[in-house]
A and B are shown apart, each in its own frame.
Chain A
Amino acid sequence: MTPFDYVRPASLADAIAAWEPGAAYLGGGTNLVDLMKTGALRPGKLIDLTRLPGLDRIEALANGDTRIGALVRNADLAHDADFARAFPMVAEALLSGASGQLRNAATVGGNLLQRTRCAYFQDPHSPCNRRDPGAGCAARSGDNGGLAILGWSAACIATNPSDFCVALAAMDAVVEVEGPDGARQISFADFHLLPGETPERETALHPGEVIVAIRLPAASAGFRAHSRYLKLRDRTSYAFALVSAAAALRFEGGKIAGARLALGAVAARPWRVAEAEALMIGQTPDRALFDTAADVALNGAAPSGDNGHKIALAHRTAARALALAAEGTPAQMPAFPASVFGGHAHA
């Protein structure tokens, strides 16, 4: 790989001070290092955040929110008993992603910044507007069966590959960041950007900003009894989603009092549609309602290539995820998380 500088700052302030154009922050390295090996990414400097103190804690805040340090490992978060009780769907999404080895290495902050798995982005020899602005998009007329059906543009049809992010989007997560200009918070809905004319701009982070924590509001834990993540994939483990859905419901008197639905692997960011959630409020859960919600969630979906099948699959997955959420969160994490074969033991 191309030679690069490597620094291991002792403090967050040092890390931010070390940043310069062309530098990259290093978390678990499970995505960045792969892309450096293939030559798709060639940062001039790696700023290793993994030894920074204090960023690997899962905290219950005084206001009831849960704060997850950016350096918490995916596996540690998923297996944290308190966290999994409060946010079982987030834990299920985490455990449906990658492999055990990768989850042990990957950090939750890094997960928010993982790059698309579009083959043409990963391949340094293919034109890609996201990797190389203005180069063109090889995916548009290439092998694109898995790419976006929502929010794509002529410049880019990539999808965000994360499972975790879909669940976070549904849970109204907030991203805490710090950078050269100080600290700020970004709501999850605003964090990932759609490609438009500038697919190279993937997130709302400013240059040099570091994710320090992800916060889940106390209110979102109110969905714990009825929340599921469902993921279609070409093999049972260690496969990215064909489509996925995070669904969460809250009931009062048999009627839906709160509803969340986010779709994964359909766009460059987790896909949430407020109208799809709102229409379920006050209703009795049934198949027709969930179909309608799925319809609305997929409003405007269009194939970006040979991937029209994803529209139907996303629709069915969304409706099923809602139905599974209505049935109730399983008492135990399914043996195959987020799978239709996961088992149906209910709380």
Chain B
Amino acid sequence: MPDTLPFATRFGSNAGQPVSRRDGVAKVTGTATFAADNHPEGMLHAVYVPATIARGRVTHLDVAAARAHPGVVEVITPANRPLLEGDPEAKHFMFAFRFEALQDDTVRYANQPIALVLAETLEAATEGARLLDPRYEAESPRVGLDGNTPYTVEVGAFGRRGQTVHGDVAAGHAAAVQSLDVTYETPAQYHNAMETHAVVAQWQGDQVTLDMPNQAIVMSRGAYGYYFGIPAENVLIRSPYLGGGFGSKAIPNGPTVLAILAARMTGRPVKLMLRRDQMFGPVGHRGATRQRLRIGIDAEGRMTVLDHESLATTSTFDDFVESAANASQGLYAAGALRSAHSGVRVDTGTPGPMRAPGEASGSAALECAMDEMAERAGLDPLEFRLRNYAETEPGTGLPYSSKALRECYLRGAERFGWAKRPLQPRQMRDEDGMLVGWGMGTALFHAPMFQAQARAVLRPDGTGLVETAAADMGQGAWTALAQIAADSLGLPLDKVEFRSGSSDLPDGGVAGGSGHTATAGGALHAAGRDAIDRLAQIATADPASPLFGAGNKGVTARDGRLFVTDDDSRSESYAEIIARAGGSEVIGTGSAARPPEQAAKHAMYSHGAVFAEVKVDPDLYQMRVTRLVGAFAAGRIINPKLAESQLMGGMIWGISFALHEEARFDARTGRIMNADFAGYHIPVNADVSGLEVITVHEDDPHVNALGIKGVGEIGIVGTVGAIGNAIWHATGHRIRRFPIRIEDLLRAERG
């Protein structure tokens, strides 16, 4: 199908068109400049030395040997590390995590930086790092969910509630005619964007330019300013492209701060790019969880209680506990609801937000438990969910701003052919004798908005320029946001220049939480409208204009012209209006944020339903996801092509979570033994087939001015459970630990 509809058939709208990503050609031809492609004159290469113990202290580094290596320029250790003006242990803003920047010789986790080597070449820096040959005084590491004594979490990650109770949970358990009590586990996972973390830092006096992939460009400017004792405006972050972020690139980290410090110390530009194995430590991860779910139902299959407890790993020195149990809030109409979190402190880096934090792990357990409860009740899993469909938010009673989940269920089920599913497991085989199983899961993800500003300019030639420091992690911000901006200016997409990805632009907010299009897009929309209002003011006050006297509200912007509303015979082009007014560009500004009173009136979520088919060899237990159908309702879709790609990417991550991803720790050393892409599996193309996405339209007048929710994370949610449930349906074996592996099914078979 053609990539864009002809302008004439668009009815003036850029939003809603499946425009191909505007940065696509640059990326596939290698002309897009990623952070590590910057090589300023005189640049030094930095390599950080990762700790090879998980707990203890560094007792010796052979600095002399490293310094003696040809090409090595500087070795930074706690002994000579210049002072940082800001404390790396401080929690000075929302995304501040405590990190190691050589403040002392303590080792808190494996792969923590314990020194930084600077050299004229990457090879020399790498060898210098090896020659440091660290010696340690090691202590026994605390590893895994049983590695330490759990503690109760009152406030979870990003201020989310640690303990939530709605209704009488004890009464809910007592009233149940059937009950389920099951425990699921999910492993530690590491973000591992294709582009590892990188920075090229250049100082000029007390100003620093940072080429780095960043999901929170303007916010990070202040954070780095804090560590180096300079005002935020002295920090310029350039982040035009990110090779993936997944939550990891919103947060300052030790290696990056050390590289910036090294540039200041040496007076030369410094580049640091993490090796793949170094991604497993200082830049966040998804903590492991153990989740207990207790569900009770009445005689009609209605839930009397949904009681979800989650234990998750965090580090010994900071707090980020996956809010997994909160996945049970907001979704099913249980008589009583409880989400309770506890944490366990282990010797790893601090976890952080990883695509669908909380929900991905929580939904994996919840949706499997729902399937188990349906099985016990003798109900079809979809029917069981429909019986517990929440018309208002469970617990709070708030109306949903919009909720087309029922339509997602029905359209997804129809497309998948769910009605033909036998209730019992192990009933279906394909022509080759493979066991076939079908499973489903519900997807829920909050629809937040953050704060953003934007600027829109109408130029004398009638074209537009819009600016906001948004971040394109590959999701398509360069394209979807430009579509919104073009509409707000009443211009076709090719008449609008979009500047983004740099901290000297208005704050585009954080690319995270599935709220970037709504937030940055909202600001762009407001800025464009402001510019058009200003232009209309000029035109309607100008007796020479055909629009004279129409009044601001009586003017419509379309295709580079202002029209008197409902009178196409009276119109004038932007260029004509500006020319007569003296030829100065017209500048509009805008901002976006959700008013708190708006948030208090409605529960706001994206929804979805995922249906999975798996095939399993009945003897060898080789597994394969052969079909995935996801139907999602996420408000207004700005670019269906990019949104569907995002949702597909999420669903592929769901395959990854269900069947592949796991960091494997050596219990003796606390080190991750599969810290590369040969050992840390994610799906390859051959693992993905039969992937379909359906988007269900929602008009949501409450969520924000544009009616946009988010699609960045919800694709994972529901998919993991759907696959786990399909494997049960194929084999009759419930595997309550992810990822599900061949040996798990073999062990289940053999009891």
Contact = CB atoms under 8 A, between A and B. Distances in A.
A236 B127 CA distance: 36
B424 interface: no
B686 A236 contact: yes
A320 B433 CA distance: 13
Contacts of B674: 119, 143
Contacts of A344: 432
Interface string B657-680: 001100011101101011000110
Contacts of A3: 123, 127
B746 A312 contact: yes
B215 interface: no
B617 interface: yes
Interface in B343-367: none
Given A1-B123, A143-B664, A340 B687 contact: no
Contact of A237 (B432, B684, B746): B684
A169 B473 CA distance: 47
Interface in B117-136: 123, 126-127, 130
B189 interface: no
Given A142-B666, A340-B622, A117 B126 contact: no
Contacts of A313: 620, 742-743, 746
Given A2-B130, A119-B674, A125-B52, A238 B743 contact: no
A339 B684 CA distance: 15
Interface string B275-300: 00100000000000000000000000
Given A316-B619, A339-B622, A309 B687 contact: no
A2 B622 contact: no
A336 interface: yes
B569 interface: no
Contacts of A312: 746, 750
Nearest to A341: B624
A336 B432 contact: no
A145 interface: yes
A141 interface: yes
A317 B617 CA distance: 11
Contacts of B615: 341
A233 B52 CA distance: 29
B685 interface: yes
A232 interface: yes
Contact of A317 (B620, B671, B685): B620
A187 B449 CA distance: 68
B278 to A, nearest CB: 12
B681 interface: yes
A242 B742 contact: yes
Contacts of B622: 232-233, 339-341
Contacts of A99: 684
B492 to A, nearest CB: 41
Main DSSP-derived SS at the A contact region: loop
B683 interface: yes
B660 A232 contact: no
Main DSSP-derived SS at the B contact region: loop
Interface in B722-751: 741-743, 746-747, 750
A204 interface: no
A313 B130 CA distance: 40
Contacts of B620: 232, 313, 316-317, 320, 340
A234 interface: yes
A120 interface: yes
Nearest to B679: A119
A317 B622 CA distance: 11
Nearest to B129: A39
Contacts of B127: 1-3
Contacts of A320: 619-620
Contacts of A123: 671, 673
Contacts of B743: 145, 242, 309, 313
A239 interface: yes
Interface in B85-103: none
Contacts of B666: 138, 142-143
B742 A336 contact: no
Given A232-B622, A235-B683, A39 B742 contact: no
A234 to B, nearest CB: 6
Interface in A123-181: 123, 125-126, 138, 141-143, 145
Interface string A103-123: 000000000000001011001
Contacts of A317: 620
A145 B671 CA distance: 16
A163 to B, nearest CB: 14
Nearest to A306: B743
A126 B127 CA distance: 19
A38 B126 CA distance: 10
A141 B660 contact: no
Interface string B668-709: 110101100011010111110000000000000000000000
Nearest to B615: A341
Interface in B141-193: none
Nearest to A242: B742
Interface in A79-121: 99, 117, 119-120
Interface in B318-337: none
B619 A142 contact: no
A232 B742 contact: yes
Nearest to A339: B622
Contacts of A141: 668
A1 B126 contact: yes
For B127, B277, B620, B671, the residue with the greatest tally of chain A CB atoms inside 10 Å of its CB is: B620
Contacts of A119: 673-674, 679
Contact of B678 (A117, A145, A237): A117
A1 B741 CA distance: 36
A292 B468 CA distance: 70
Contacts of B678: 117, 238, 240
A38 B276 CA distance: 11
A238 B686 CA distance: 9
Interface in A1-19: 1-3
B686 A237 contact: yes
B660 A235 contact: yes
A1 B126 CA distance: 6
A238 B687 CA distance: 10
B681 A237 contact: no
A313 to B, nearest CB: 6
A282 B150 CA distance: 64
A98 B127 CA distance: 28
A320 to B, nearest CB: 6
A242 B741 CA distance: 11
Interface string B413-432: 00000000000000000001
B289 to A, nearest CB: 20
A236 B368 CA distance: 25
A123 B681 CA distance: 18
A126 B685 CA distance: 33
Given A234-B742, A236-B684, A341-B434, 20 more contacts: A1-B127, A2-B130, A119-B679, A125-B671, A232-B742, A234-B660, A235-B659, A235-B660, A235-B681, A235-B684, A235-B686, A236-B686, A238-B678, A240-B678, A309-B743, A312-B750, A313-B746, A340-B434, A341-B624, A344-B432
Interface of A: 1-3, 38-39, 99, 117, 119-120, 123, 125-126, 138, 141-143, 145, 232-240, 242, 309, 312-313, 316-317, 320, 336, 339-341, 344
25 contacts: A1-B127, A2-B127, A2-B130, A38-B277, A117-B678, A117-B679, A120-B673, A125-B671, A138-B666, A141-B668, A233-B622, A234-B742, A235-B684, A237-B685, A237-B686, A239-B681, A309-B746, A309-B747, A313-B620, A313-B742, A316-B619, A316-B620, A320-B619, A339-B622, A340-B434
* Minimum-distance CB pairs A-B, first 3: A236-B686, A119-B673, A237-B686
Interface of B: 52, 123, 126-127, 130, 277, 432, 434, 615, 617, 619-620, 622, 624, 659-660, 664-666, 668-669, 671, 673-674, 678-679, 681, 683-687, 741-743, 746-747, 750
